[in-house]
Amino acid sequence: MKTPRLTVLGAGPGDPELLTLKGARVLGEADVILYDALANRELLQHARPDAVLVSVGKRRGMRSFSQDEINALIVEHAHRSGHVVRLKGGDPFVFGRGREEMLYAEAHGLRTDYVPGISSAVAAAGSVGIPVTHRGASEGFRVITATTATGELASSVAEAARSRATTVILMGLGELPNIVQLYCAQGQAETPAAIIQNGTLPTARLVTGTVAELPARALEAGIGAPAIIIIGEVTRLATPEVLTQALPTVFADASYAEVA
């Protein structure tokens, strides 16, 4: 009998080559892999031919599993097959519910482990030349999510709007008008900002402008999810070549109403 266990693994920001070496090894050891929509499916090439692959991805407008269903699947597959790898986009401990799933697994008798992934909060920005910190422009940064677990606008957005520190907003495209309204109300309508879609991938898209200009520019460019929003002076450092690339949109009907 195999020991029932769970490894929560970060898939990274999108580029499959940014998976860690340990992550590749763990995928090759897995009996079952439960993977999210934001995890690049090319990573499944590391799996054994006999591994069970289960998509549990979450996307607006598409059938997906609830968190309770995912928790139950982890325990069920672990007791039936042994080693379950939960493959999650970015880093599982950055708004990824990774520890939440581990605690549930531990409460049901599973051994658990965590393998970090590169977070899109830093890597997607860096992939288009935007550093989250830069001497003379930003001495620190915050990473927040736009919505709460109940789908409401997070209070952390209002707090960020009162600050001049670099802010990276994950899962915020659907709340872009509300985010912009809060920033404008705090006198930050002219603060530089950017949106990056599919950061680190060949299909990456980038729009920049002031906070007030961002919604219109995102619509004009056809920006869709998955994307991150960055607000702060560091966005002025975006690589000029990326701005002029005429890359196709991933979603034909993309709008900032879509969320990751």
- Residue-wise pLDDT for 53-75, tens only, equals 999 976 654 557 899 999 999 99
Q: Phi/psi at 169 (nearest 5 deg)?
A: -110, 120
Task: Convert the pLDDT of each residue in 200-210 to its tens digit.
Answer: 999 999 999 99
> Which residue range(s) make up the domain with 158?
120-243
Q: Which of 71, 100, 115 is the last residue of a domain?
A: 115
CATH of the domain at 83: 3.40.1010.10
Q: Is residue 254 part of a domain?
A: no
Q: What letter represents residue 179's amino acid?
A: I
Q: Which of 50, 81, 115 is the last residue of a domain?
A: 115
- Total domain count for the chain? 2
User: Is the separation of the CB atoms in 222 and 243 below 8 Å?
Assistant: no
Active site residues: 36, 58, 171
User: Is the separation of the CB atoms in 115 and 109 below 8 Å?
Assistant: no
User: Is the separation of the CB atoms in 178 and 154 below 8 Å?
Assistant: no
- Type and span of the H or E element at 179: helix 176-185
Helix, strand, coil % (nearest 5) of the chain?
Answer: 35, 20, 45
Q: Is residue 255 part of a domain?
A: no
Quote the pTM value.
Answer: 0.86
Q: How far is CA 115 from CA 19, 90, 108, 218, in A?
A: 10, 11, 20, 34
The whole-chain average pLDDT of the chain stands at 88
The pLDDT score that the predictor gives to residue 244 is 43
The residues, ordered by sequence, that sit 6+ positions from 236 with a Cβ below 8 Å of its Cβ are 137, 192
The pLDDT score that the predictor gives to residue 60 is 54
The residues, ordered by sequence, that sit 6+ positions from 166 with a Cβ below 8 Å of its Cβ are 132, 133, 138, 140, 141, 142, 230, 231, 232, 233, 234
Confidence of residue 257 (pLDDT cuts 50, 70, 90): very low
Same domain, 148 and 131: yes
* Rounded-to-integer distance, Cα 64 and Cα 47, Å: 22
The pLDDT score that the predictor gives to residue 241 is 58
Task: Convert the pLDDT of each residue in 122-175 to its tens digit.
Answer: 999 999 999 999 988 888 899 999 888 777 888 999 999 999 899 999 989 999
